[in-house]
C-alpha cells in the first residue's frame, strides 16, 4: 500500500505542471493536441520498448480489452483537456477536474462493485468543498464550451481509473496510443496550425520546447505513475491525488504569469491539503490493503 501512495503522490505532483507548460507554449489548440499527442506516444512507447528489450518485461503493448478501453477514454480526455485549457479559465478547469474523485467513487461502485468507505466519501466531499471555496467566483457563463470539455475530461479520467482498478492490468502504454489517436484526429479532422509551434512563446522559447518538456518528460512520467496507482490502491484513493493540481497549479501560474492567488485559494488549498494528508495517514494506519483487483472485468484476449 505504501508503494501505491508513493506512486500516486509523485504522479499527482508532476501532473500539476501540465497546465503551466501548455500556457507557456500558447500555440493553437489543435496544434498542441497534435504535437503533445505524438510526443507522448513516442516517449511512452520508447519506455515500453526499453523495458521489453533490456529488462525482460513481456507485457503486451495493449493489455486486452481493458487496454483498448483506456485508449478510447484517454483519446477523448486528451482532446477535451487541451480544448478546455484554451476555452476556459485555469480556475474553471481545475475546479471541474477536482470532481474526478467523486466521479471515480460513483463509477467504481456502479461498474465493479467496489465498496467505498464512508471516510473516503467524507474526504472526497470535504475536498470538493475546498475546491469550491477556491473558485466560487471564478465560473463564467461565457466559458460554457470550455467547462463542458473539462467535465468530459473528468468523466473520462474517472472511467480510466475504474477500468484499471477493475482489470488490475498495466495499461500505461494505452495512454500513449490514446495520445497518438488524439493527434491523428487533430491532423485529419481539424485545421491544426502547426506553424504556431515555432512562434516565440514563454520566456522567448519556441512553443515546441515547452510542449516537448510536457510531452516527453512530465506527462509520460506522471501518467505512468498514476496509471499504476490503482493496481495497489482503490481507484478512488488514487484519483484524490489529482486534487494536488487544484492547489499547486494556481501557485505555478502565479509564479510564472503573476496571477496572485486570492485568500479563497489559500483557504481552499489548505482544506484540500489537510484532507489529503489525513486521509492518507488513515489509509496507511488502518491496514485496509485492498486486493489487487476486485474482479476481472475484462477477460484476456
The answer on pLDDT for 292 being more than 50 is no
The pLDDT confidence band at residue 183, using thresholds 50, 70 and 90, is very high
Whether residue 299 lies inside any domain: the answer is: no
For 47, the domain range is 2-286
C-alpha distance from residue 151 to each of 4, 118, 135, 147, 239 (Å) = 26, 25, 15, 6, 15
Q: Which pLDDT belongs to residue 300?
A: 37
pLDDT at 1 over 70: no
C-alpha 39/C-alpha 27 separation (Å) is: 15
**Whole-number average pLDDT of the chain:** 80
Percent of the chain with pLDDT over 90: 17
Residue 189 has pLDDT above 80, yes or no: yes
**Cβ neighbours of 16 (radius 10 Å):** 21
- What's the average model confidence in pLDDT over 187-215? 89
Would residue 137 count as lying in a domain? yes
Give residue-wise pLDDT tens across range 96-140.
887 787 788 788 888 888 887 888 788 888 887 887 787 666 565
Q: What are the φ/ψ torsions at residue 271 (nearest 5 degrees)? A: -60, -45
Tell me, yes or no, whether 293 lies in a domain: no
Pick from 238, 292, 295: which is nearest to 112 by CA? 295
pLDDT digits (tens, 9 = 90+) for 209-251: 999 999 888 987 887 787 677 667 776 667 667 678 777 887 8
Mean pLDDT of 174-193: 89
Angle, helix 100-111 to helix 144-167, in steps of 10 degrees: 40
User: Has residue 292 been placed in a domain?
Assistant: no
Domain membership flag for residue 217: yes
pLDDT reported for residue 144 = 79
Using one digit for the tens of pLDDT, what is the confidence trace for 246-272?
Answer: 778 878 888 888 877 677 767 887 887
Query: In which band, very low, low, confident or very high, does the pLDDT at 301 lie, cut at 50, 70 and 90?
Result: very low
- Distance CA(247)–CA(28), nearest Å, equals 27
Q: Which phi and psi angles does 206 have, rounded to 5°?
A: -60, 155
- Given the C-alpha cell 479520467, which residue does it identify? 157
In a domain, 258, yes or no: yes
8 A C-beta contact, residue 176 and residue 14 = no
Query: pLDDT category, 298, cuts 50, 70, 90?
Result: very low
77 domain residue, yes or no: yes
Residue 220 lies in a domain: yes
List pLDDT tens digits, range 51-108. Answer: 788 877 777 778 788 889 999 999 999 899 888 888 887 777 887 887 787 788 788 8
Residue with the larger pLDDT of the pair 2 and 126: 126
Tell me how many domains the chain contains.
Answer: 1
Residue 168 has pLDDT above 80, yes or no: no
Amino acid at each position: 500500500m505504501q508503494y501505491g501512495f508513493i506512486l500516486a503522490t509523485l504522479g499527482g505532483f508532476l501532473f500539476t505542471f501540465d497546465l503551466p507548460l501548455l500556457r507557456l507554449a500558447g500555440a493553437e489548440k489543435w496544434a498542441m493536441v497534435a504535437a503533445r499527442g505524438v510526443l507522448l506516444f513516442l516517449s511512452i512507447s520508447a519506455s515500453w520498448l526499453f523495458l521489453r528489450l533490456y529488462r525482460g518485461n513481456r507485457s503486451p503493448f495493449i493489455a486486452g480489452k481493458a487496454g483498448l478501453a483506456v485508449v478510447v477514454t484517454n483519446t477523448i480526455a486528451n482532446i477535451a483537456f487541451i480544448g478546455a485549457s484554451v476555452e476556459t479559465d485555469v480556475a474553471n478547469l481545475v475546479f471541474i477536474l477536482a470532481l474526478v474523485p467523486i466521479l471515480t467513487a460513483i463509477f467504481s461502485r456502479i461498474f465493479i462493485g467496489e465498496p467505498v468507505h464512508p471516510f473516503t466519501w467524507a474526504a472526497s466531499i470535504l475536498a470538493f468543498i475546498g475546491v469550491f471555496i477556491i473558485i466560487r467566483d471564478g465560473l463564467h457563463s461565457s466559458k460554457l464550451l470550455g467547462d463542458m470539455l473539462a467535465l468530459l475530461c473528468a468523466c473520462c479520467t474517472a472511467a480510466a481509473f475504474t477500468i484499471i482498478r477493475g482489470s488490475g492490468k498495466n495499461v500505461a502504454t494505452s495512454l500513449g496510443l490514446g495520445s497518438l489517436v488524439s493527434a491523428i484526429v487533430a491532423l485529419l479532422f481539424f485545421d491544426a496550425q502547426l506553424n504556431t509551434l515555432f512562434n516565440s512563446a514563454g520566456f522567448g522559447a519556441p512553443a515546441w520546447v515547452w510542449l516537448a518538456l510536457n510531452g516527453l518528460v512530465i506527462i509520460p512520467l506522471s501518467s505512468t505513475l498514476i496509471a499504476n496507482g490503482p493496481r495497489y490502491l482503490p481507484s478512488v484513493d488514487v484519483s484524490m491525488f489529482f486534487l494536488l493540481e487544484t492547489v499547486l497549479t494556481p501557485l505555478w501560474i502565479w509564479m510564472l504569469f503573476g496571477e496572485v492567488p486570492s485568500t479563497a485559494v489559500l483557504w481552499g488549498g489548505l482544506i484540500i491539503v489537510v484532507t489529503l494528508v489525513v486521509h492518507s495517514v488513515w489509509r496507511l494506519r488502518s491496514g485496509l490493503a485492498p486486493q489487487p483487483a476486485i474482479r476481472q472485468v475484462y477477460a484476456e484476449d
